[in-house]
Chains A and B, each alone.
Chain A
Amino acid sequence: MRIIISLFAAFFMASAANAGTLEDVKKRGVLNCIVNTGLPGFSYTDKTGRWKGFDADMCRSLAAAVVGDGEKVKFIPATGKTRFTLLNSKEGDVIFRNTTWTFVRDVDVKLTFLPTTYYDGQGFIIRKSKGVKSAKELDGATVCIQTGTTTELNLADFFRANKISYKPVPIESNEEARKNYLADRCDTYTTDASGLAATRATFDKPGDHMILPEIISKEPLGPVVRHGDDQWADIVRWTVYALIAAEQHGITAGNVDKMAMDKSNPNVSRMLGSEGNLGGMLGLDKEWAKRVIKAQGNYAEIFERNVGLKTPVGLSRGLNALYTKGGLQYSPPFR
């Protein structure tokens, strides 16, 4: 039996006996990245089948660091329900799929959560014509939720705490939820506020709908890797920090080569590999961070291009601004 299985494995994919994820990815030459099956602004496919969006770009940045080429990414679309099993069955190396960091997932489901790429919270969207001004007025309402996510647990808690009733309509994907909401199958749709904004941007008349003021939960969304591979977790962690630090130091995709030459700022020099060998400590080469920034730009560039104010999604930085500008995005020092 073992022989048959190994034959299968040899034919379809190089078998890797218990090697670290980094070795696997390097050998394969491709990063397997688990993303949302479709969420405007975060991860979706265009006409040619190319994956686009905030999360998709993050995958490309990571691939640039590890494999050396930002296009060497295999995107694995997953629903809320299948994402962790895809990770645990080694289908994917990392999840970039608006995944909330919670205690149970971290401790009991045995996943490793890495720095938050997007600080979010759960909100409600509703038609202005319903005349609702606060989520506490939603007694008896029908609410659309995405199943397999933290939002349905938060929702149950919120309504229980406020002693009001509701009728949940559990839905598999954002697109389905959008359809049901627009058809008035549910009075309100609840998900991460970023998702609500992204979804509202696609309505025919976005002005007819409002996002209620209550944010009923904390939703720190970030990458997730398998439990127990610290080296790989470090690589993903510091790739995200490199994007944030790059924004802080004003390094962009356009000027990263010039900044690497200019040795006036030791912090920048260390990060970009012109001084010391931080990359080597990660198991990568010196110039990893340079490639990360060159691939898709720094955090601000990725944000503004996919979900920023000038895009249809139109999100302001808010909590996701740098800590120097009143937000929460903060990178530990590169030294």
Chain B
Amino acid sequence: MTPGKEEKTLAVTEGGGYLPGTHPDLPPPSSVHGPIHWIRVNLFGSVTDTALTLLAVYFLYSAITFLAGWMFINAAFTGESRNDCRAVADGACWAFIGNRLSLFIYGFYPEPERWRVDLSFVLLILAIVPVLYEDMPQRGKGLAYSCLYPLIAAWLLVGGFGLEKVSTDQFGGLMLNVVIGVTGIAFSLPIGIVLALGRQSQLPIVRILCVSFIEIIRGVPLITLLFVAAVMLSYFVPPGTDFDLLVRMLIMVTLFASGYMAEVIRGGLQAIPNGQYEAADAMGLKYWQSMRLVVLPQALKISIPGIVNTFIALYKDTTLVIVIGRLDILGIGNSSLADTKWQGLSTEVYIFVALFFFFSCFSMSRYSLWLEKKLHTGH
């Protein structure tokens, strides 16, 4: 907001001379230009501003000296136990993180099979490209691959059909966060679309059902839904059916995400001008045709930033699986601390996980912001 910025104009005095600093051939004096002027206007503009600046500088100084000291200067980066760390320095003990890095990433996934996790990460990135990159050549084929990706990834990670089976209990660490986040978003997209359309439906019962489903899902915390997955869902399948906990969790997470997804897509649908609906009707398209060919492609395109934001939120929320005893990246850290050699290093674990989430979520949100701007100019 720059309401107070004065326009620089050439001011001429009545006598025909120039006001100080406004002569067209001379650079303006340093009092209205250059770093000193900038500092005066931007940092010490008024008493409140000055106080704010001093406070901010003090805050910055103490935060930086403290963090730099703890995280880098007094930190220990190598060692085989907490005592090794303490012997070298009394700051952070990063040796622990390095020591357990593969556990943080793969959880308990069997070591010789870990290439499958790496491969599915790489394939995941390839699957995201066609969704986000519009001008890709042969985008249709790319999108078909993106739709197939969840099946490919499930096969790679779980095994069977030629690959050695890996029990879903061995999923853990970062990999578990990604599996839950990606599955939640991938499956909630179609459900979200159906719910959003149902919410606008002219059939009252369908509309009421969709609205109540969305509102109930959005009205309860994810953690309670995870508890439902852990303790209640198995009551609802026929007696004697084994029902994998990870699958139960994925079902609840998907339902949770689709409640939010439906609202994002509803926003997209509402942004489509009425003329588009009417034009589709005028062309003689039936309801599903007009949705598939005219409305949804446009609505989904403008919903992408919202979908990315939903994903970021869901991805952050995947840390909650720790409350039902599943060991994600945070849970692995916590459970590793039970090893007598490394006890008492929880702050290091929290900071490491926090930084990891910061970098991944920050870059995703930057991307979504960029996309939003791009879409804005497009219209």
Contacts and interface: CB of A to CB of B under 8 A. Distances in A.
B230 A45 contact: no
Given A37-B334, A76-B169, 12 more contacts: A9-B243, A12-B246, A38-B337, A40-B338, A44-B338, A44-B339, A45-B103, A49-B108, A82-B231, A82-B325, A89-B230, A175-B334
Interface string B89-126: 00000000001100100011001000000000000000
A275 to B, nearest CB: 38
A312 B341 CA distance: 11
- Contact size class for A? 35 or more
B245 A89 contact: yes
7 contacts: A5-B241, A8-B243, A38-B335, A38-B337, A82-B230, A85-B231, A89-B245
A78 B339 CA distance: 17
Interface stretch (B3-11, B137-145, B232-240): B232-240
Contacts of A49: 103, 107-108
Given A40-B340, A89-B245, A90-B242, A74 B230 contact: no
Contacts of B169: 32, 74-76
Q: Can you list the 6 inter-chain pairs with the closest CB atoms, starting with the nearest?
A: A38-B338, A89-B234, A18-B240, A85-B231, A44-B338, A12-B244
B100 A47 contact: yes
Contacts of A76: 169
Interface string A8-49: 110111111111000010000010100001111000111111
Interface in B312-340: 324-325, 327, 331, 334-340
Given A77-B327, A82-B230, A46 B339 contact: yes
A73 B338 CA distance: 21
A312 B87 CA distance: 20
B224 interface: no
Nearest to B110: A49
B334 A173 contact: yes
- Contact size class for B? 35 or more
A30 B167 contact: yes
B309 interface: no
Contacts of A298: none
A37 B158 contact: no
Contact of B243 (A17, A47, A89): A89
A39 B245 contact: no
A286 interface: no
A178 interface: yes
B328 to A, nearest CB: 12
A201 interface: yes
B238 A2 contact: yes
A325 interface: no
A179 interface: yes
A178 B337 CA distance: 11
A188 B280 CA distance: 72
A229 interface: no
Interface in A32-76: 32, 37-40, 44-49, 74-76
Contact of B344 (A11, A47, A74, A182): A182
Contacts of A85: 230-231
A202 interface: yes
Nearest to B243: A9
Interface string B31-48: 000000000000000000
B112 to A, nearest CB: 13
Contact of B337 (A13, A82, A175): A175
